[in-house]
Amino acid sequence: MTLPHPDDRPAYVEGMDRSRLLVVEDDAGIGANLERALGNAGYDVSWVDTAATARAVTEPPDLVLLDLGLPDGDGLEVAREYLARWPGLPILMLTARTEEMDVVIGLDTGAADYITKPFRLAELLARVRAHLRRPDSTTNARTLTDGDLTVDLDARRAVLAGTELQLRAKEFDLLTELLSHKGQALTRESLMSNVWDEHWFGSTKTLDVHMASLRRRLGEQPGDPSRITSLRGVGYRWEPAG
Ligand code: CA
């Protein structure tokens, strides 16, 4: 009699995505469910249940599902640590309250996303797939493109429909920040801290002024913005072309 090799996988896993997912979740029920469901979906899943064990992980996973409220620490701190170690690592935060979403959006990264508990498994799986597909545009690529707009980060040149845009330094930085997070809501606070100063807590009037002038240079018509959407009470979002 031959015992199955521990590495043997069910046949349906053959040829499927073997991305390595790390689940950080202290709720045993949720953690076990995620481990089983993601494993059934063909992923290689590791599950830890404390901030300490999460910090001790040395091999970068392909994606992290991270509970915000951990018994021995703040999930957000773990996220910051991970992103410092592995820039561009996709992190899907599991948040218990919708108020926490601002905190997550404000996290200084294009990699982070959130999903609120209770979540539907199908939605979670869809998010996981989307993040694993997304190319890491912020850490490696030195050129950002969107439709007829190309931004060369090294040369600090922005070309729209074949014409180079004359941008002031902060307008260029603002454009880069928005374009690096296409389709994602960026809070006013995160834009201010990332574009202007890391520890900026004052008025965001400067942001409005620069956003208005950036829109003009992009040829946006007032009241009919096509690339940059204002999110009332939150911030801005770059709308991907096409
Ligand atoms: Ca928790």
93-125 residue pLDDT tens: 888 766 666 566 556 555 567 788 888 888 898
Percent helix, strand and coil across the chain, each rounded to 5?
35, 25, 40
Structural domain boundaries in the chain: 6-132, 143-238
Task: Output the six-digit token pair for 29.
Answer: 């029920």
Pairing between strand 185-187 and 91-95?
unpaired
Q: What is the mean pLDDT of the chain?
A: 81
23 alpha carbon – ligand 1 mean position (Å): 12
pLDDT digit string, tens, across residues 139-150: 444 788 898 899
pTM higher than 0.85, yes or no? no
87 alpha carbon – ligand 1 mean position (Å): 24
Q: Comparing C-alpha atoms, which of 113, 115, 148 is closest to residue 132?
A: 113
Q: Comparing C-alpha atoms, which of 168, 95, 160 is closest to residue 127?
A: 95
- pLDDT of residue 10 exceeding 60, the answer is no
47 alpha carbon – ligand 1 mean position (Å): 13
Count Cα neighbours of 238 within 13 Å in the Cβ-side half-sphere: 21
The fold adopted by the segment(s) 143-238 is Arc Repressor Mutant, subunit A (1.10.10)
119 alpha carbon – ligand 1 mean position (Å): 14
CA distances from 78 to 83, 106, 153, 173, 200 (A): 9, 15, 29, 27, 23
129 alpha carbon – ligand 1 mean position (Å): 23
pLDDT digit string, tens, across residues 14-26: 444 489 999 999 9
CB 37, CB 121: distance < 8 Å:
yes
CA-to-CA distance for 64 and 109, rounded, in angstroms?
14
CB 127, CB 113: distance < 8 Å:
yes
26 alpha carbon – ligand 1 mean position (Å): 5
Give the rounded percent of residues in the chain with a pLDDT score beyond 70. 79
CATH class of 6-132: alpha beta
pLDDT digit string, tens, across residues 42-69: 899 999 999 999 999 998 999 999 998 8
137 alpha carbon – ligand 1 mean position (Å): 31
Pairing between strand 73-74 and 228-231?
unpaired
Which residues lie across from 237 on neighbouring strands? 185, 229
